[in-house]
Amino acid sequence: MAEAGNYGSRYPYFYGPEGRLVLVDSALEAVRRGSTTIGIKTPSFALLASHIKPVRQLIDPAEKIFVIDGHVGATGSGYIGDILQLIEELRLEAQKHRLNFESPIDVGSLAKHLGSFLHNYTIYAVRPQAASVIVAGVDQTGLQLYQVDPSGTFMRGSGFAIGQSSDIALDVIQHDYSGDMSVDQAVALSNKAIEKALGERPVVEVGVITTQDKQFQKLR
């Protein structure tokens, strides 16, 4: 046990010398380089916004806001391929719930499922998924907004930012957040947050769900 420090370099998928999971930290680092992505929740609606990185003229940009089920939407930051796989996992779980219980799944259960799905990648010698996901929806308990990270951690809240310069974006949201803003104001706020984070006028994809129609819809 005297050479415990060496194990870190021999088995990179286990704990590093500081007691951190090296691969999970790397996955989080990959997410930090992803496109800036935001989730905002007020008492009457929840909004997802994701920066779309400029691509070449003839290539269509990738879709970043996803409908999971009628009442739930999600977006992510990190490797697109990993995000898509997690989105598929969420959609599958939502339909499984409909099959088993004949009712729409609650957002908390979705976040929890995604958390344990991701956690599974942290206990074996495999590559953890380099994607954080923000889930928004309306269920029996009302409006819900969750963030799920590659470590399997999931958080409930009213404002999240992930991806490139997410700290700056989150600061902007925290500063300007108000419970009684309108959808348009929230869209403007997310635009402002992403603009501040990136230092340029961004192309942003937005999705919204309100307590009135309870359907997740992509804007534009």
Partner 1 sequence: MTTIVGIKTKEGVVLGSDKRASKGFFIGSKITQKIAKIDDTLAVAIAGQLSDAEYLIKVSKAERKLIELRRGFPLTVKESARLIANLAYSGMKNYQPYFVELLVAGVDQEGGHIFAADMSGAITSEDFASSGSGSPIAYGVLESTYHKEITNEEAKQIATKAVSAAMERDPGSGNGIDVLVIPNLVLEVAA
Encoded one letter per residue, x for contact with partner 1 by CB under 8 A and - for no contact, window 140-179 reads xx--------------------------------------
Place of tokens 């403007």: 188
Three-state DSSP class for residue 215: coil
**CA 39, 191, 30, 15 torsion-angle sign:** negative
Neighbours of 104 (CB within 10 A): 18
Kindly state whether residue 102 participates in binding partner 1, applying the rule CB under 8 A: yes
Kindly state whether residue 93 participates in binding partner 1, applying the rule CB under 8 A: no
Closest approach, Cβ 27 to partner 1, in A, equals 26
**CA 78, 79, 84, 89 torsion-angle sign:** negative
Q: How far apart are CA 199 and CA 192, in angstroms?
A: 10
Kindly state whether residue 214 participates in binding partner 1, applying the rule CB under 8 A: no
Residue 101 or 124 with smaller CB distance to partner 1: 101
Residue 60 or 102 with smaller CB distance to partner 1: 102
According to CB under 8 A, which one of 18, 60, 101, 167 is a site residue for partner 1? 101
Q: How far apart are CA 174 and CA 159, in angstroms?
A: 7
Stretch binding partner 1 (CB under 8 A), from 79-87, 95-103, 185-193, 202-210? 95-103
Stretch binding partner 1 (CB under 8 A), from 19-27, 72-80, 104-112, 159-167? 104-112
According to CB under 8 A, which one of 13, 108, 185, 217 is a site residue for partner 1? 108
Stretch binding partner 1 (CB under 8 A), from 66-74, 100-108, 130-138, 198-206? 100-108
Closest approach, Cβ 108 to partner 1, in A, equals 6
Q: How far apart are CA 90 and CA 106, in angstroms?
A: 12
Closest approach, Cβ 140 to partner 1, in A, equals 6
Binders of partner 1 among residues 4 to 63 (CB under 8 A) are none
Q: Would you give the end-to-end CA distance of the chain in angstroms?
A: 59
Phi, psi at residue 103, to the nearest 5°?
-150, 155
Q: What token pair was written down for 143? A: 């409006």
Give exposure, 111-122, as e/b (b: 16+ Cβ within 10 Å): bbbbbebbbebb
Residue 102 or 184 with smaller CB distance to partner 1: 102
Place of tokens 């230092």: 199
Summarize as ranges the residues that interact with partner 1 (CB under 8 A): 99-103, 106, 108-109, 112, 140-141
